[in-house]
Structure 1
Amino acid sequence: MTFKLLIGLIVLAITTTSLYHSFKSLPQGLSFHGDEQPVINPRLLTDRTLHFGNEEPRLDQEIFTEIFSLIADAQQFVLVDMFLFNDFRANDSRQIPLASTLTDALIARKQAHPDMEIIVISDPINTVYGGTTSPHFEQLRQAGIPVVETRLEPLRDSNPLWSGLWRICCQWMGNSASGGWLPNALGEQPVTLRSYLALPNFKANHRKTLVVDSADGFTALVTSANPHDGSSRHSNIGLRFEGPAVADLLRSERAVLALSGADTTAVDTALGNLPATEPESPETIRIVTESAILASAREIIDTAAPGDRLDLAIFYLSHRALVEALKDAHKRGVQVRVLLDANNDAFGLKKSGIPNRQTAMELNNAGVTVRWCHTEGEQCHTKLLLRRDYDGNAQLLLGSANFTRRNLDDLNLETSVHLTSTTHSVMVLKASGFFDEQWNLGPGDTPVMSLPYEAWADESRLRYWQYRLMEATGLSTF
C-alpha cells in the first residue's frame, strides 16, 4: 500500500509539474506585438543555392554579407541574437565558415573599439545544453564580449510528456562541459548523459536578429539565416531596416536578456540614444515575437479576399490553425500557392518527410497548389508569407518562425517582421520575384528551382496521423 501511494505521489508530482510548466505565465516582454512603425530604408535580402544539373551549384547570398558589413561599420553598439552559432558537422568543403567569420568580425570590431558594447545571445544547443564548450563563445568571452546562453527553463514546456519528469529528476543536476563520455550526435566533443536528458525538451531561442549603430544611426536586421556552417547553403530571407522599429526590436531582445538573468544596461543605454522623432514612410513595419507572429499570419490570411494572392515559402508547415486558414482562403477564391521544403535532408542525414509531406497532402486534396523546393542536400529554410491584393496593397511576414505549434504557440523564442506596402514597392517586387522564380523554374528549366507536388507526394494516412500526434503532443523536433 505504501509503495502504491509512493508511485501515485510521484505520478501526481510529474503530472502537476507538466501541467504547470505548459500553461504558466510567460516571462515579461515575450509575445511582443509592436506598434506599426514607419519603415526606413528597408532592404530585402535573400540567399539561394541554384542547381544546374551536373555543374557545381551557384550560391547567390546576401544576408551574411550584409551582416558582416553592418558589424564592420558599427561605432558603439552591436547586439547579435542567433540560434545556431557553431560549425558542428563542418565536414563538407563546400560549406561556408559562417561561425568563425562572425566570431572574427565581432572580435575585430571590439579590438578596434575597446569601449564598444557588443552582446551575443544564443541558444544552449551550441554547447549541447552545457555538455561541451563552444570554441566560438570562448573566443568571444576572452575578447571581452559577453555571450548569453539563453535560459530556457522559464519558457513554457513544448514536450510536457518528457519535461515534467525532467524537471523533477534531472534539471537540478546541471551539466558539465568537461565530463562528457558519450558520442555527440551534433558535433565532435563527447557529451554527458545530462545533455541527452535535456535534449528532448525540444525548445529553443530560435531568433535570428542583429542591431548595430553607425555614424548614421541604428540599423536592425531580422532573418531566417543562422551563422552555422552546416546551414550555409540553405535558402533564406531577411530584412534590413532603420527607424523607430529598431527600438521595438531592442525591447524584445531586452526581454531575452532579462529572463536569462543577464545585464541589460547596454541595451537600456542604446534605447536612450535612439532618436525620438518618427520619420514618415508610406510603408510600415511591426515587430512580432512568439504568438504575436501567429496573430499576424492569421490576420494576413484570414482577411485575404477573392482575387488576392497568398504565397507561402516555408521550411516547416504544420500549425493546424494556419493549415485550416489556408484551405479556407482557397475556398473563398484567394489564389494560394505553397512552396515547401520536402523535409528530406538535415545536415547529411535523411529525414522522414514529416510534417511537410503530410501537410502538403492535406492542402493538395483541398485544391491548394503545392510545389517543393528543389534541393540537393541543403534546405529550403525560408520563412516568407506574401500577400498581394487586387487593389495594389501588399503585406509580408518574414523572420525566424516556422509555421508550427512550437514556433508560434509561445514555446520557442521567435522574431519576425510584419510589413505593409504596395505591390509596386522595391521590397515587395523583390519578395515576389524571389518566390515566383522558385515557383516557375521546374524540371526542364535551368536552373531547376522547384518540383511538382507529385515529386515528393506521400499519401500515407499512417504517417499523416503520426504528424498530427507529433504536432499535438510536442513529441517532435519541428
Structure 2
Amino acid sequence: MRILVLLMIGSMGILLSGCTTGPEKLGLAYSGATHADNVRLLVDETWVDANGTRFVEQEIFDSVFEMIDEAEAFILLDLFLLNEFGYEPGPGLWHSSQAITDRLVAKRKANPQVEIVFITDPVNSVYGSFDSPQFRALEQAGVKVVWTDLDRLRDSNPLYSKVWRVLVKPFGVGPGTTLKNPMGEGRISLRSFCKMLNFKANHRKLVVTDKSLLVTSANPHSASSVHWNTALRIDGAGQSMALEAESAILGFSGAHELGVRLREIHGAGNPVDPSLPPNLELLTERKIKEKVLELLASAEPGARIDLAMFYFSEEAVVRAFIKAQKRGCQVRVMLDPSKDAFGRTKNGVPNRQSGRKLVQAGVPLRWAETHGEQSHVKMLYVEHPDQTATLLLGSSNFTRRNLSNFNCEADLAFAASADHAAMSRARALFDRWWSNGDNRNHTVEYAVFEDNSLWRRGLAWWKENTGMGTF
C-alpha cells in the first residue's frame, strides 16, 4: 500500500509540475497599435543564376548597424541566435554574430551614456554548457545581457517536460563533456542536453532604439548569414509598443527594473497625432495567429494572398488558406523545402506534408530553390480588391509552437494602400521569386519536392500536435 501511495504521489507530481504561469499573466500575447509614416521593407536574398553561381544581397543587418550608430538614448535588442556554432566559410557567408557584437562594444566605448540591453535565448550557451564569447564581451563592455527564463514558458511537449521538471530540473545545468554539442564544436553536459529537449525558445528578432524599430525573421547567427529573410523598419514610431512587449520578458526573466528604466528613458517618445488612424500593429505569440486568421477570413474573392514561409504546419491556418482559395482569392504559397540545415539533410517535415494538403485543395505552391541556405522568410501579403493591403512579417513560423503561446515571438502588421513603397516592393519581390525573373533562380515546381509518404504524414502530425519536434 505504501508503494502504491508513493507511486500515486509521484504521478500527480509529474502531471502537475508542468503547470506554469499563463502567458497573458506573464505579459505575453501582446497586441499594440499606432500610426507610422516611415516604414521600409528590407530584404536579404540568396540565389543562383543559370550558370549555378551563387549571389547574395543583404540589407537587414546594415540597417541594424545604422540604428545602433544613430541611437542617442537607448538600444534594446531581443535576438534569438547570436553565436558562431556551425559556421563554415562559403560564398556570401560572414561572421554576423561577431560583427554585431563588435558594433555594440564600439557603441559603448564611443557613447557610454547610451543604455544597451540585450535579451537572448539560452541556446547561445547551449543551455548552460558554454560561456558565450560574444555575450561575455558584451557584458564586459557594459551591455546588460538578459537570458530569457524559458522555464516560465508553457510546455509545448508536456509528455517530456513534465517528467523533466521532476527528475532533471532540480540538478540544474552547467558545463560538461558527456555529449557532443549538437550545434557545433565541443561537448556539453547531459543536463544541458535534457533542458534543450524541452524545445522552448525566445524566438523573437527585434531591435528598438530611441529613434527606430526593426522586426525581422533574421538571426545574427554566422552560419545563417546567407539565409533569405525580410524585415520592417519603422522610424519615429512603434518604440513604446516594443518596450512594453519586451518588458514582459525582462520581467519574468528577473530584470524587471531594466524594463522600467528603458520606458523612463523613452518617456513619451514621439507623440502620435490621435486623429491619425493606426496602421501598424506589434503582435506577439497568440495575437499573431489571430491576426493571420482575421486577414485570411476577411479576404474577399479576388484578393491577392501571397505567403513565403519557413515552417508551415498550424492546422487552423492551413485550413484558412484553403478556404480563402475556395472562396475565390488568388492564393500563392512559397515554402522552404525543409531539406537543408547547416550541412545536414532534413526529411521535408512538416512543409512537404502541409504543402500536399494545399496542392490537393488547388492552392498554387512552389518551393524555394535553396543551395545549402534556408528560405527563412516568414511573410504574408494580403491585397484587397479596393487596393488596400496588409503586410505581416517577423519571427513567427506558422506552426503550433510559434502561434499558440509556447515560444516568444514578435511580428509587425502594416496596413496601407497597395501603392505604398513597402507594399509595392513586397508584391514585386514575391512575383520575382515566383517567376524566377531577372535571371535569378529562386523557386521550383511543387513536383520537385512532392512527398506522398504516409509515414512522414503521420510523423508531421505527431510532431506538430505533441510538440515533440523542433518546429
| Category of TM-score, reference length = shorter chain | over 0.9
For 1:158, what is the secondary structure of its paired residue? coil
Query: 1:17 is aligned with what amino acid?
Result: S
For 1:251, what is the secondary structure of its paired residue? helix
For 2:457, what is the secondary structure of its paired residue? helix
Q: Does 1:251 align with 2:244?
A: yes
Which structure 2 residues correspond to residues 232-311 of structure 1 after superposition, within 5 A? 232-262=225-255, 263-264=257-258, 265-278=260-273, 284-311=279-306
Q: Deviations over 1:5-62 (max 9, x none)?
A: 43333222212223x24x8454432100113x11121111000002114443111110
Q: Distance in 1 between matches of 2:450 and 2:46?
A: 23
1:474 to 464, 467, 470: 467
Q: Does 1:41 align with 2:34?
A: no
- Which residue is equivalent to 2:156? 158
Q: Does 1:224 align with 2:221?
A: no
Q: Deviations over 1:279-306 (max 9, x none)?
A: 8767710110000000110111011110
1:129 to 109, 127, 139: 127
Q: Distance in 2 between matches of 1:422 and 1:290?
A: 27
Q: How many residues align?
A: 468
- Which residue is equivalent to 1:410? 405
1:421 to 416, 435, 438: 416
Q: TM-score scaled to structure 2, two decimals?
A: 0.96
- Which residue is equivalent to 1:78? 75
For 2:200, what is the secondary structure of its paired residue? coil
Q: Distance in 2 between matches of 1:233 and 1:280?
A: 42
2:185 to 183, 188, 200: 188
CA contact (8 A) 2:212 2:237 kept: no
Shift of 1:251: 0.7
Q: Deviations over 1:83-126 (max 9, x none)?
A: 00111011234321100000000000000012220111110000
Q: Distance in 2 between matches of 1:180 and 1:85?
A: 22
Q: Deviations over 1:143-198 (max 9, x none)?
A: 11111110011111111010001111111222123x34421111223211111110
Query: Per the alignment, do residues 180 and 279 of structure 1 end up closer, same or farther by CA in structure 2, a change over 3 Å counting?
Result: farther
Q: Distance in 1 between matches of 2:135 and 2:318?
A: 39
Q: Distance in 2 between matches of 1:245 and 1:25?
A: 22
Query: 1:363 is aligned with what amino acid?
Result: L
CA contact (8 A) 2:127 2:192 kept: yes
Moved more, 344-353 or 1-10: 1-10
Which structure 2 residues correspond to residues 346-361 of structure 1 after superposition, within 5 A? 346-361=341-356
Shift of 1:227: 0.3
- Which residue is equivalent to 2:104? 106
Which structure 2 residues correspond to residues 433-448 of structure 1 after superposition, within 5 A? 433-441=428-436, 446-448=439-441
1:397 to 384, 388, 392: 392
CA contact (8 A) 2:73 2:265 kept: no
Q: Distance in 2 between matches of 1:280 and 1:222?
A: 26
CA contact (8 A) 1:243 1:278 kept: no
For 2:267, what is the secondary structure of its paired residue? helix
- RMSD, aligned CA: 1.6
- Which residue is equivalent to 1:371? 366
Shift of 1:244: 3.9
- Which residue is equivalent to 2:209? 212
Q: Distance in 2 between matches of 1:63 and 1:237?
A: 7
Q: Distance in 2 between matches of 1:180 and 1:120?
A: 28
Q: Distance in 1 between matches of 2:270 and 2:77?
A: 21
Q: Distance in 1 between matches of 2:271 and 2:170?
A: 45
Q: Distance in 1 between matches of 2:276 and 2:184?
A: 46
Q: Deviations over 1:410-436 (max 9, x none)?
A: 000000011111111111000111111
Q: Distance in 1 between matches of 2:299 and 2:265?
A: 38
Percent of aligned positions that are identical: 40
CA contact (8 A) 2:209 2:239 kept: no
Q: Distance in 2 between matches of 1:414 and 1:25?
A: 12
Query: 1:376 is aligned with what amino acid?
Result: H
Q: Distance in 2 between matches of 1:394 and 1:184?
A: 45
Q: Distance in 2 between matches of 1:92 and 1:72?
A: 28
Q: Distance in 2 between matches of 1:40 and 1:119?
A: 27
Query: 1:46 is aligned with what amino acid?
Result: V
- Which residue is equivalent to 1:464? 457
Query: 1:188 is aligned with what amino acid?
Result: E
Shift of 1:261: 0.6
Shift of 1:231: 0.8
Q: Distance in 2 between matches of 1:425 and 1:282?
A: 16
Query: 1:187 is aligned with what amino acid?
Result: G
Query: Per the alignment, do residues 176 and 411 of structure 1 end up closer, same or farther by CA in structure 2, a change over 3 Å counting?
Result: same
For 2:41, what is the secondary structure of its paired residue? strand
Moved more, 373-382 or 74-83: 74-83
CA contact (8 A) 1:132 1:180 kept: no
Q: Distance in 1 between matches of 2:454 and 2:198?
A: 27
Query: Per the alignment, do residues 98 and 279 of structure 1 end up closer, same or farther by CA in structure 2, a change over 3 Å counting?
Result: farther
For 1:188, what is the secondary structure of its paired residue? coil
Gaps in structure 2 of 5+ consecutive residues? none
CA contact (8 A) 2:77 2:208 kept: yes
For 1:397, what is the secondary structure of its paired residue? strand
Query: Per the alignment, do residues 243 and 279 of structure 1 end up closer, same or farther by CA in structure 2, a change over 3 Å counting?
Result: farther
For 2:57, what is the secondary structure of its paired residue? strand
Q: Distance in 2 between matches of 1:350 and 1:279?
A: 52
- Which residue is equivalent to 1:449? 442
Shift of 1:69: 1.2
- Which residue is equivalent to 1:3? 3
- Which residue is equivalent to 2:16? 16
Q: Distance in 2 between matches of 1:25 and 1:120?
A: 22
Moved more, 271-280 or 236-245: 271-280
Q: TM-score scaled to structure 1, two decimals?
A: 0.95
Query: Per the alignment, do residues 243 and 70 of structure 1 end up closer, same or farther by CA in structure 2, a change over 3 Å counting?
Result: closer
Q: Distance in 2 between matches of 1:429 and 1:407?
A: 28
